[in-house]
Amino acid sequence: MVSEEQFGYRRAYQRLPCLLSATCKTYEATEYPATCYDISYKGAGVITNGPLAIDHGLTLELKTVRSGLLSLEGTVRWCKKVAKGWQAGIMFDRILPFELERLI
**Domain chopping of the chain, boundaries:** 4-102
- Tens of pLDDT, residue by residue over 1-38, are 444 444 455 667 888 999 999 999 998 889 999 999 99
Domain 4-102 belongs to what topology? Thrombin, subunit H (2.40.10)
Burial class (CB in 10 A: 0-12, 13-18, 19+), 31: middle
Of 89, 102, 8, give the one whose Cα is nearest residue 42: 89
Instruction: Give the global pTM.
Output: 0.85
**pLDDT for position 66:** 84
